[in-house]
Amino acid sequence: MPNTIPQLFLEVVRANPDAVAQYAKNAKGEFMPTSYARLLDDVALFAAGLKAIGVTRGERVGLISDNRPEWLVADLAILGLGGADVPRGCDSTEDEIRYILGFSECRFSILENEKQLRKVLSSKAALGAIKEIILFDDAGEDAKKEAKAAGFSLHSYAEIRGMGLASGAEASDPKRLVASYEGAVAEGHDRELATLIYTSGTTGEPKGVMLCHRNFMHQTDQILEIVPVQAGHVFLSVLPIWHVFERIAQYMILAAGAGVAYSKPIGSIMLADFQTVRPQWMASVPRIWESVQDGVYRNIRQQGGVKKVMFSFFVGVAETYAYFKNHFLGRVPDFDHRSRILEVAASSLPLLLLAPLRGLGWLLVFKKIQTKLGGRFIAGISGGGALPRSVDRFFDSIGVRILEGYGLTETAPVIGVRPLAKPTGGTVGPALKGTEVLIVDETGKSLGFGHKGRILVRGPQVMLGYYKQPELTAKVLRPDGFLDTGDLGVLTRHGEIRIAGRIKDTIVLRGGENIEPTPIEQRLCESALIKQVIVLGQDMRWLAALIVPDEDAIMAFATENNVPIVDYESLLKQPEVLELIGDEISTRVSAKTGFKSFERIFHFALLAKPFEVGKELSAKQELKRHTINELYGHLIAGLFKE
């Protein structure tokens, strides 16, 4: 049995050498396939080149790049040599790169392009350990001269491959290159460090999460039993490849002998690639599914008339049908010994009555949405944040399955995921086999099912610790091996996990009230008028919010109601628009919708520009609350003036 990711890779190549491992676009935008056998040749060649410039077992190698085929080649080459990569995306700032590469003491770094090189050059004083730099894309002559003057040895991706081809006894013989790679891979073991992934820094200084091969291998063994990816299936890749969620997706694809097609999380590009590639699977964050849903509704609004009425009617029917179907099949969370006999009896008649209308809705409306996803789509896997219930219900009702998962960078990342065979809505499924989950109260006492508390997890996927930060490690990793996730959760009677908020995001008002902002934000984002929102109020008397409205919806409202439009930013200051959003907030967050009086939003401000990844959002599109408080400090202060 393989113990490391490269050992798993070699096993899959032997079993499926001609299967397609990667689909990547050429200069014409056409997807070109790469077989597993070809991928192994590329990995072995690049590994030989890395070895030629001095990469050895235990080496930490920076890898600053976005999604591209060469990323996986570099990853498997580094890991095969016994090294560990230190990855980050091209949206990283100079400060982030300086900290990550410097703190990790990388002697080697692979960068995507000249832009990333200049970030490193500007941080030369803090990156004294780096001696060798490799660029996937070649640099201009000026950049090469600057790198040389700074004391860096600069190589192109092609040059490293050339060094590999000319290295010693393996010269010009692909079989010997592969044999050399296989020899290095055979020396690997499951406790060997595979990667240092730095947290996004949403709450301060990034921490380097040390993940070993065992952390990942435990999941590749388990997830394929829950998410039945098969050889020949295609995954559409849209998330940052350096992030731990996409990493485990890549390794799961390898384990299954499936293929990955590289796309982008941009609506027009992603949907076009769905049509071209016709994937069976996609891993994504909730915001991507929200965007797809928004796109569907935007298209319907533009068509208007009978089509809009028909769509709304059939969605309503489908959601009601899905509600009874899930109860009939036992796919709803059970926190208190519900009677299955009564559930089946109560849902049978409504199902029979609604089935013809649901079938008609499928033929007239929902089938077209499936077609836009390529026609072969089995399910999406959602992680990196809570999937809003409204989004979950919408896709469930129209027949597009989304399997919500849960995990952390510190758990590499998967703790649990809804199984395709029986997905229980409103939960993230049961924990993986071999993974223990405890729900505890403030004293550390274990709670039974149905009780909300702090989530602790123990299993083979739990990190080794934070790199060179034992004090921080000790704060979250207990002596008995349980990791404190910082999340609140509830267990169902059958062991499924429902996430109930994050402890570290908890807002404490001056009156001592503890408030979880996420449920409020999710409820507000269910509105067609609201695109993004952050709830604020730590140490204040009341809650406030920064809201990014849906521009199309606001412009449509203004046009229909003769509200003067000079420009969009000015429009957001019009009393009619402020009243519209205010009414939406008070309707959705009120005693009638289950919120307490101190959970109401008392003041808000509207933002014309959406929150952006790398600025207000982390790479997995989570709110960087600490950063937002700094960026909008003056505006936020005005919301709390007494």
393, 425 Cβ separation under 8 angstroms: yes
Q: What is the pLDDT of residue 203?
A: 45
Asked whether residue 61 is assigned to any structural domain, the reply reads yes
DSSP of 170-181: GTT-HHHHHHHH
The total number of residues shown for the chain amounts to: 642
- pLDDT band of 304, cuts 50, 70, 90: confident
Q: What is the pLDDT of residue 632?
A: 95
Average pLDDT over residues 212-224: 94
- The domain boundary residue, chosen from 457, 473, 505: 505
**CATH number where 553 lies:** 3.30.300.30
Residue (of 425, 428, 433) closest to 416 by Cα position: 428
Residue 215 neighbours by CB under 8 Å, 6+ apart: 194, 411, 412, 460, 461, 462, 463, 464
Q: What is the pLDDT of residue 578?
A: 96
Are residues 634 and 519 both part of a single domain? yes
Q: What is the pLDDT of residue 169?
A: 53
Are residues 450 and 536 both part of a single domain? no
Q: Which domain holds residue 524?
A: 508-639
pLDDT at 170 over 60: no
**CATH number where 314 lies:** 3.40.50.12780
Residue (of 199, 234, 222) closest to 86 by Cα position: 199
What torsion do the CA atoms of 327, 330, 333, 336 make, to the nearest 10 degrees? 90
Are residues 485 and 549 both part of a single domain? no
Burial (Cβ within 10 Å: 0-12, 13-18, ≥19) of residue 68: middle
- CA atoms of 265 and 282, how far apart (whole Å): 11
- pLDDT band of 442, cuts 50, 70, 90: confident
Are residues 382 and 517 both part of a single domain? no
> Which of 594 and 545 is assigned the larger pLDDT?
545
Are residues 221 and 349 both part of a single domain? yes
- CA atoms of 406 and 338, how far apart (whole Å): 25
- The domain boundary residue, chosen from 457, 478, 505: 505
- pLDDT band of 172, cuts 50, 70, 90: low
Asked whether residue 302 is assigned to any structural domain, the reply reads yes
- CA atoms of 60 and 82, how far apart (whole Å): 10
- Domains contained in the chain, number: 3
The conformation of residue 123, written as its DSSP 8-state character, comes to: T
Bridging pattern class, strands 281-284 and 234-237: parallel
- pLDDT band of 509, cuts 50, 70, 90: confident
Question: Out of 114-123, 283-292, 519-528, which region has the weakest mean confidence (pLDDT)?
Answer: 283-292
Asked whether residue 200 is assigned to any structural domain, the reply reads no
CA distances from 100 to 136, 247, 471, 508, 509 (A): 20, 18, 19, 32, 35
Burial (Cβ within 10 Å: 0-12, 13-18, ≥19) of residue 526: middle
Asked whether residue 33 is assigned to any structural domain, the reply reads no
Indicate if the alpha-carbon torsion angle 70, 73, 74, 75 is positive or negative: positive
Are residues 571 and 424 both part of a single domain? no
61, 110 Cβ separation under 8 angstroms: yes
Asked whether residue 482 is assigned to any structural domain, the reply reads yes
* Residue 575, SS3 per DSSP: helix
The string of pLDDT tens digits covering residues 254-295 is 999 999 999 998 888 999 999 999 999 999 988 889 888 988
67-70, long-range: CB < 8 A, 24+ apart: 67/237, 67/240, 67/241, 67/246, 67/262, 67/264, 68/24, 68/112, 68/136, 68/241, 68/262, 69/22, 69/24, 69/34, 69/262, 70/136, 70/157
100, 126 Cβ separation under 8 angstroms: no
Omega of the bond leading into 69 within 30 degrees of 0 (cis): no
The string of pLDDT tens digits covering residues 312-356 is 999 999 999 999 999 999 999 999 888 999 999 999 999 999 999
Asked whether residue 196 is assigned to any structural domain, the reply reads no
Q: Where are the alpha helices (DSSP H) in 36-165?
A: 36-52, 69-80, 94-103, 114-121, 141-149, 157-165
**CATH number where 182 lies:** 3.40.50.980
Q: What is the pLDDT of residue 202?
A: 43
The string of pLDDT tens digits covering residues 179-213 is 999 999 999 999 999 999 998 654 456 899 999 99
Average pLDDT over residues 555-561: 94
Are residues 526 and 561 both part of a single domain? yes
pLDDT at 373 over 60: yes
On average, the pLDDT of the chain sits at 92
Average pLDDT over residues 492-520: 85
Tokens found for residue 535: 């709830």
299, 265 Cβ separation under 8 angstroms: no
Are residues 104 and 68 both part of a single domain? yes
Bridging pattern class, strands 259-262 and 234-237: parallel
